[in-house]
């Protein structure tokens, strides 16, 4: 993978850096809008781990959006730590929901093991949606990192 004239070589194909940044911005924007819909639209109260995930996701909209406009591939230096830490928090939250016996309680909005909303017959919960979003963003940022080398 290499960066040449604003393009990344990914799996033998040339991908514009701006396109990859726009896609990661879109994922962060949808995740942010979704979290606001769950709390403001549906009235669900976020637990403590949900708040941490929000704190890590919301700035990514601005950081990635500005980088997309500037076509700044080196944004991974700023965004990747947020994204990877969000991935860890969302992964831990998902584990708590799958296996409540692991322990872990939250003081805000109830226990982190409670499932307030599901999609696809229970396959996707809010923390799993967050996990998917952080994974997609992290993969895009790692592609930028590898392409910068």
The pTM of the full predicted model, rounded to 2 decimals, is 0.82
> Do the beta carbons of residue 127 and residue 91 sit within 8 Å?
no
Number of domains the chain is built from:
1
Tell me if 117 sits within 8 A of 44, measured CB to CB. Answer: yes
Contact 53, 131 (CB under 8 A): no
Instruction: Provide the CATH number for the domain around residue 95.
Output: 1.20.1550
CB-based burial label for 60 (10 Å; 0-12, 13-18, 19+): buried
Q: State how far the Cα of 68 lies from the Cα of 18, in Å rounded to an integer.
A: 5
Residue 86 lies in domain: 3-147
Mean pLDDT by 10 residues, the chain (149 residues): 50 72 96 93 85 95 95 92 95 83 58 64 79 96 83
């Amino acid at each position: 993978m290499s960066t040449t004239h604003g393009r990344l070589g990914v799996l033998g194909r040339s991908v514009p850096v701006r396109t990859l940044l726009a896609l990661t911005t879109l994922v962060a924007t949808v995740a942010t809008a979704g979290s606001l819909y769950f709390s403001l639209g549906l009235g669900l109260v976020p637990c403590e781990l949900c708040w941490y995930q929000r704190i890590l996701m919301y700035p990514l909209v601005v950081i990635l959006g500005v980088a997309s406009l500037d076509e700044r591939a080196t944004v991974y230096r700023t965004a990747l730590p947020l994204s990877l830490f969000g991935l860890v928090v969302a992964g831990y939250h998902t584990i708590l929901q799958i296996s409540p016996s692991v322990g872990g309680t939250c003081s805000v909005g109830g226990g982190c093991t409670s499932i307030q909303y599901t999609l696809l017959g229970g396959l996707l919960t809010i923390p799993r949606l967050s996990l998917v979003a952080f994974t997609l963003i992290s993969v895009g940022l790692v592609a930028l990192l590898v392409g910068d080398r």
